[in-house]
Amino acid sequence: DAARRRGRQTALPSDEVLTDLQAGLDDAEAAAAERIDGADWRDDILRLLFVCCHPDLPATQQIALALRIVSGLSVRQIARAFLVGEAAMEQRITRAKARIAKGDTPFEAPGLTERAERLLVVMAMVYLVFNEGYSAGGAEADARRPLCDEAIRLSRLLLALFPDEAEVMGLTALMLLQHARSPARLDADGLVVLLENQDRSRWNRPMIDEGLALLDQAMLRRDPGPYQAQAAIAALHARAERPEDTDWAQIDLLYAVLERMTPSPVVTLNRAVAVSKVAGPEAALAMIAPLEERLSGYFHFHGLRGALNQQLGRDDDAREAFGRAIALAGGAAEAVYIRQQLDLLQAGAEKNHAPVSGG
Supply the pLDDT for residue 359: 33
Cα–Cα distance between 296 and 282 in angstroms, integer? 20
Residue 324's Cβ-count burial label (10 Å; 0-12, 13-18, 19+) is middle
74 assigned to some structural domain = no
Q: Are 220 and 246 in contact (CB under 8 A)?
A: no
The 8-class DSSP code of residue 355 comes to: P
Strand ranges, E, within 253-318:
none
Amino acid letter at 229?
A
208 assigned to some structural domain = yes
What integer is the mean pLDDT of 82-91?
A: 75
Range of the domain at 200: 164-246
pLDDT of 247-304, one tens digit each?
999 999 999 999 999 999 999 999 999 999 999 999 999 999 999 999 999 989 999 9
Domain count, the chain: 1
Please choose, from the candidates 256, 225, 200, 55, the residue with its C-alpha nearest in 3D space to the C-alpha of residue 127.
225
Task: Compute the mean pLDDT over every residue in the chain, rounded to the nearest whole number.
Answer: 80
pLDDT of 127-148, one tens digit each?
988 887 887 665 566 666 788 8
Q: What is the value of pTM for the model shown? A: 0.75
- Quick check: 95 pLDDT over 60? yes
Cα–Cα distance between 293 and 164 in angstroms, integer? 41
What percent of the chain is modeled with pLDDT above 70? 71
189 assigned to some structural domain = yes
Amino acid letter at 350?
E
121 assigned to some structural domain = no
191 assigned to some structural domain = yes
Element spanning 216, H or E = helix 205-220
Long-range own/partner contacts, residues 64-72 (CB < 8 A, 24 or more apart): 64/89, 64/92, 64/93, 64/96, 65/93, 65/96, 65/97, 66/122, 66/125, 67/125, 67/128, 67/129, 68/93, 70/45, 71/125, 71/129, 71/147, 71/150
- Quick check: 18 pLDDT over 70? no
239 assigned to some structural domain = yes
Query: For residue 186, what are the β-bridge partners?
Result: 192
Angle, helix 86-101 to helix 75-82, in steps of 10 degrees: 110
Give the 3-state secondary structure percentages of the chain, helix then strand then coil, rounded to 5.
Answer: 75, 0, 25
Supply the pLDDT for residue 292: 93
Q: Is the dihedral of CA 126, 127, 128, 131 positive or negative?
A: positive
Confidence of residue 318 (pLDDT cuts 50, 70, 90): very high
* Phi/psi-derived region of residue 329, left when phi > 0, alpha when psi is between -120 and 50, beta in every other case: beta
234 assigned to some structural domain = yes
196 assigned to some structural domain = yes
Cα–Cα distance between 137 and 302 in angstroms, integer? 19
Cα–Cα distance between 97 and 123 in angstroms, integer? 21
